[in-house]
Amino acid sequence: MVKEVRTSIAQQVTVWCLSVCFHSLLTYGYHITLDIFKWSLNLLLVTFPSKIIAMSDEIFTDRHVRLTAHDVAQLEKQNSRLVDGFKAEMLERNAQKNWDLFYKRNETRFFKDRHWTTREFAELIGHTDERRTLLEIGCGVGNLVYPLVEEGMNFYFYACDFSPRAVTLFKEHPSYDPDRMCAFQTDVTKEELTDHIKANSVDVVTLVFVLSAIHPEKFETVLRNVKNVLKPGGIVLLRDYGLNDMAQIRFKPGHKIAENLYMRQDGTR
């Protein structure tokens, strides 16, 4: 796991470094940015001070992804017809509308409940009877929060999503309990989380398949937003798609917005 490294570098430098690493990770690949990405995560956890638990060590690797000739051809085809600038701008403007339409069509049927979270992130399992606070960014309809409730995890939950319809569906879940959870709509790339949550009050923040839906230019804003609500010693849990995985390779021409940024058929990213 990410280890603590002592340093006195200013917080703003740390946020900038991590933002650059996220952008570099998406642009050039994890085999290039491995060392500086690990270094920035370590730097971040001390200067905030907070912990970033990103992935286990075996996931951080400098091995190159082995692409077949077919994979390479598919990636090259994507460059033959890119999303034009006007459409890319409209996708950015209509991002909330597109996610709202997604949840209107699919309601609670699309994503499966994430029963794997306590297995992948042991940090979710408390070792005392003290109630902790968890914020899920990109909560959708509750596929992460409600399995934790079922497992008896002792959290007060904050849950937010870009889509108002998703938040409504979250609140309609039979296990929604206003005494131990609060769901709200927000855009973490523009709006302050501290408008809903007390500063420096959250123990755990989850970003599961969230950053891949956000333009890399906005990563720094999102990270600053997260930092503002984390307690000293708080934890950020990250999970997302991998560079050149099948989810990326299977995109057809006409879906690539920018390097490692794609649109789906329904306009979501």
Q: What is the pLDDT of residue 92?
A: 74
Using 50, 70 and 90 to split pLDDT, how confident is the model at 262? confident
Could you tell me the CA-to-CA distances from 253 to 97, 215, 246 in Å, in that order? 24, 19, 15
Separation of alpha carbons 269 and 116, rounded Å: 24
* pLDDT tier, 12 (very low <50, low <70, confident <90, very high otherwise): very low
Amino acid identity at 13: V
d(CA 26, CA 45): 22
Residue 22: the pLDDT is 52
Give bridge partners of residue 2 from the DSSP assignment: none
Read off the pLDDT of residues 35-46 as tens digits, 9 standing for 90 and up: 444 445 544 444
Cα separation of 269 and 264, whole Å? 6
pLDDT value at position 126?
82
Q: Compute how many other C-beta atoms are within 10 angstroms of the C-beta atom of residue 120.
A: 14
Instruction: Give the model confidence (pLDDT) of 120-155 as tens digits.
Output: 999 999 878 899 999 999 999 999 999 999 999 999
Cα 190 to Cα 186: distance, rounded to the nearest angstrom: 8
Main-chain dihedrals φ then ψ at residue 55, nearest 5 degrees: -160, 165
* CB-CB contact of 65 with 34 (8 Å): no
HEC per residue, 81-97: CCCCHHHHHHHHHCHHH
Instruction: State the pLDDT confidence band at 63, using cuts at 50, 70 and 90.
Output: low
The verdict on whether omega for the bond into residue 216 sits within 30 degrees of 0, i.e. cis, is no
pTM: 0.70
17 pLDDT tier (thresholds 50, 70, 90) = low
**Mean pLDDT over all residues of the chain?**
78
The domains located in the chain, with CATH, are 78-262 (3.40.50.150)
Residue 127 is given by DSSP the state S
Round to the nearest angstrom and report the end-to-end CA distance of the chain.
29
